[in-house]
Structure formats: structure tokens, C-alpha cells
Amino acid sequence: MHTTINRNRLSTFMSRSAAVTFLAAAGTLGLHAQQSAGTAPSLPPISLKSTLTAPLDLSTPDDLKYSSSVGSDQMANAETFNLTSSADQPPPRRKYSRPNYNDSRTNADGSAKYTFFVGGGFTLPVGGSHNYLTTSYDVQAGAGRNFNKTFGAVVQFDWDNFGFQTATLNRQLAIYNATCNGGCGLTQLGGTSHVWSFTVGPVVNFYNSDTFGAYAVGGVGFYHKTANFTIPSIGTYCDFFGFCYQFQANQTIDKYTSNAFGVNGGLGMTYKFSRFAGERFFVEARYVYTFNSARAFSLGNAQGGGFNVFPQNSAKTGFIPVTFGVRF
């Protein structure tokens, strides 16, 4: 019994001794490993607040190298740019010119080379013309050449019609009755006057938009002025079947003509309903002045020549035609 107890104690002692020996050996090996590798420095404490508030450093470290087939030094040289050198600048942007629409009917800026217009309106005699003429109608037609959107030239025909003041007709009636041999006994007198002309001049379109436009226009040319005095009469008309009819007509008893050089100038506005439309409606007003050569009042000679009882027709003439029409 005593022998058995001793054996158990001996076994327990030996187990404890082996464990202590193993732990001591492990500690010794760890110490040697630290001494051979060097003692690791202790890490400083990290402050999260200072890290987040510190300025961001975007500089390139000096030891940063790029891996490249041309070498790190060549790569560094290739990335060094001289902004003041034209050799290091990017190529200049390509210059694009305005679209060119030039063809047989269109200018380079897209405007039509040719223009045509027709219109009508009324005339206002001004100055001395207002003393014997009254407002009537006018007709206008013409064509032009546009050199671009701004400048052009037009050739046109105008017919400007006028009536006579009542005082003018009464004065002329008295003159005719007084000069008629044996007394004419005229009781009524009518008449009209007109000026037709051919002119050429410049056009300047100083405002253009998709809807509205404005322009200045002028012209010089030939003006032919006519005054025609009439009395009521009965006319007869016969048709194809031989039937004849009578109607009230005017018979000319006196007529005057005068040719002169004249000028005109004015302003106009245009409007089109659609930006894609080629037609523009226009309204314009011009001042017209003709340089007629005045002729004196005369009852004529014994042979009937030189009779001129309406010298106003050869007087210088001023009027303003206001025209509405379409340009295309």
C-alpha cells in the first residue's frame, strides 16, 4: 500500500516537471527570436480628429517612380511640360468659316440674289403741288439685285395719279369759256393728273429678323407728268351683233405734258407670316421731287401755237406715295 502511494506521487512530480521545462524552453526561444530580429518599436497613439482635419497633401513623393519600358528618368522628362513653349502646346482649334450658300440664285450669306415686288397705295401732294392737286392712287412694280443681306439695287416703274382741286377746275373752266370764240358755254369741267416714272436706286436693309425688317431706299430717274382736262359727253358703243349703246363719257379738251429728271427717297418695313416663307409684305413711304422746267402762262399766237393756260403742269413737283405690296 505504501509502495503504491509513492509511485503515484512520483508520476505526478514528473508530469509537473515536464510542463515547467516546456514552458521555460518556449520562453527562451521567444526571447532569442526577438533579440535576433531587433526589438519592434512601439506605435504612437492615433488621433482620429487630427487626422481628419489635417490638410490634404497632393505633392508627389520624391521616391515615386513609374514603371515603364522607356525607364523612369525618361518618363519623368516626358512629363515635364513648358507652358510657355509653343512646342508643348496642344494643336490650335480648327477654324470653321460661315456656311457658303452661293449659287445662281443665292448669295454666300443665304440671301436671295434677285427680288421682285409689286404694290399699290395712295399719293399725297406736298409743297406747291398741294395747291392744285389732290390725293389719289399709285401703282408700283419693280425688280432688284441683292448683293448681300444688307445692300441691293432696284429698278422700278411707278404710276402716281392725282385729282385736281375744285378751285383749280373752276379757274380753268372760266379761262376756257373766256377764250372760246363765240362762247363755249361750258358748265362742267373735270380732269386728272398723273406722273409715271422709271427709276433706279440703292436699298439698304438696316434691320432683318425672321419676321420683321426695315430698309431705306432711294432712286433717280425719268419722270413724265401729264394734266388732262375733260368735259362730260355722250359716247356710243356698238357690239359684235351691230347693237349700239350710248354712255356717259369724258371728252378731253386740253392736255399738257412735261418731262423731267427726279429723285426719291424713303423708308419701308417688311413682314412675313412664317420664317420659312420667301414672300414679305411691305409698306413704304417716299418723298419724290421732280425738276420740271416752268413754262409761262400764254393764250397762244394767231396760229394757235404756244397755248398754255395751265403752267402748273410744268412746275417743279413734290409728292409722297405710300405703297403697300409684296416682295418675293
Which tens digit of pLDDT belongs to each residue from 133-182? 999 999 999 999 999 999 999 999 999 999 999 999 999 999 999 887 66
In a domain, 176, yes or no: yes
For residue 248, pLDDT over 90 is answered with no
Tell me the range of 6-10, 52-56, 149-153 where mean pLDDT is highest: 149-153
pLDDT at residue number 99: 58
Residue 274's pLDDT is 83
Could you tell me if 231 and 186 are in contact, meaning their C-beta atoms sit under 8 angstroms apart?
Answer: yes
Most confident option among 19-23, 24-28, 146-150: 146-150
* 51 located within any domain: no
The residue type found at 54 is: A
| Cβ atoms within 10 Å, residue 193 | 26
Give the tens place of pLDDT for each residue, 205-240. 999 998 999 999 999 999 999 999 999 888 787 877
In a domain, 296, yes or no: yes
The answer to the question of residue 290 being in a domain is yes
Pairwise CA distance, residues 56 & 51, whole Å: 10
Q: Are 301 and 255 in contact (CB under 8 A)?
A: no
Q: What is the domain extent for residue 270?
A: 114-226+257-327
More confident residue, 245 or 112: 112
What digits encode the pLDDT tens for the residues 68-120? 455 555 555 545 555 555 555 666 666 655 555 567 888 988 888 999 999 99
How many domains are contained in the chain? 1
Q: Is residue 133 part of a domain?
A: yes
108 domain residue, yes or no: no
The proportion of the chain whose per-residue pLDDT surpasses 90, expressed as a percent, equals 50
Q: What is the CATH number of the domain that holds 154?
A: 2.40.160.20
Q: Model confidence at 5, in pLDDT bands (50, 70, 90)?
A: very low
pLDDT digits 0-9 by tens, 288-322: 999 999 999 998 876 667 899 999 999 999 999 99
CA distance 281 to 111: 17
**Is residue 165 a contact partner of residue 127, using CB atoms and an 8 Å limit?**
no
Q: Is residue 121 domain-resident?
A: yes
Q: Is residue 295 assigned to a domain?
A: yes
pLDDT for residue 154: 97
